[in-house]
Amino acid sequence: MYVVKQLELALRSRLDDIVRSSGITTLQYTALTVLDRHGGRSLAQLARDSFVTPQSVAFLVSNLERQGLVRRDRNPDSRRELIVSLTPAGRELLTLYSGAVNELEQLMTASLSDEETETFRSLLDRCRFDVLQPETHPEQ
């Protein structure tokens, strides 16, 4: 667990260096990449994905909206839901920084063979799955 946290801290620090010049924070940048992967998601879904309250996500998203990087649209099938999605400007910002971010990912796995990298990804994913399982989960 300690090494997972240390790796995440180191990556975060490097990402800060990369994203600094973009005018948005690393947190906001990460939110954009999530929206890029997972099409349009509601505020509540985003909140669950990132283990924070809906209010926190709403604050984050409204800042991105003010900068024209995301849009919020009512889901016509369920009028209470707001679907958050990238605007062209948001997508453009992502492509602008994708090179440096990919370089960082390759730096991380620089000393790993292709096979080891695939193993690593698989192990990370299995661990994440096990930690996410709600068994013995007394909350809420």
Partner DNA sequence: CAAATTTCAGCTTAACTGACATCC
Partner DNA sequence: CGGATGTCAGTTTAGCTGAAATTT
Binding site for a second copy (CB under 8 A): 1-15, 17, 30, 33, 37, 50-51, 101, 104-105, 107-112, 116, 119-121, 123-133, 136-139
Interacting residues of 5 by C-beta distance below 8 A, sequence separation 6+: none
Q: Which does 66 bind (CB under 5 to 8 A by kind): DNA, a second copy, none?
A: none
Residue 18 binds which entry of a second copy, DNA, none, with Cβ cut-offs from 5 to 8 Å by kind? none
Least CB distance from residue 84 to a second copy, whole Å? Answer: 18
The answer to whether 49 touches 39, Cβ cutoff 8 Å, is no
- Report the residue from 11, 18, 27, 108 that binds DNA according to the rule CB under 7 A: 27
The residue among 17, 6, 23, 9 whose CA lies nearest residue 101 is 17
- Which x/- pattern, by CB under 7 A, does the window 41-60 give for DNA? -xxxx-x---xxxxxx-xxx
Residues 77-116 that bind DNA (CB under 7 A): 77-82
